[in-house]
Amino acid sequence: MTASLTCFCGILPEAGYNDSDMGLTSIKGKVSMPNTRAHLLISGRVQGVFYRAFTEDAAQLLGLKGWVKNRSDGNVEAVFEGKKEDIESAIHSCYKGPPAAKVNNIEVKWEDFKNEFDTFSVRYF
């Protein structure tokens, strides 16, 4: 389903809103499905095995934004923002991980798109 940007939800671009304000992806004046956000908690042997770098590479290849970080409890936490199908691909990659990783579980919490990131990065705090 697509619609012109000038009539989607009755919000006009001239009014100071644009497609990214609403978490939408536009292609040649058309509006596609809204972006979303997923918050992940990854458990298993996921620290000290280049898991964060692997996740950063996967997210950047898919055009996702957000972050990944080690947690003090031995797990890895990540937030992805972008198209749902791209996030699902990233989650699939996260189950595989780098060669030395052994992922036991990934908890995924789907959240509303916030558009708060410019890139995908590794956090160190």
Active site residues: 52, 70
Tokens 């620290």 locate to 47
Instruction: List, in order, residues 6 or more apart from 37 with CB less than 8 Å away.
Output: 66, 79, 80, 81, 87, 110, 111, 112, 113, 114
Q: d(Cα 78, Cα 39) in Å, to the nearest integer?
A: 6
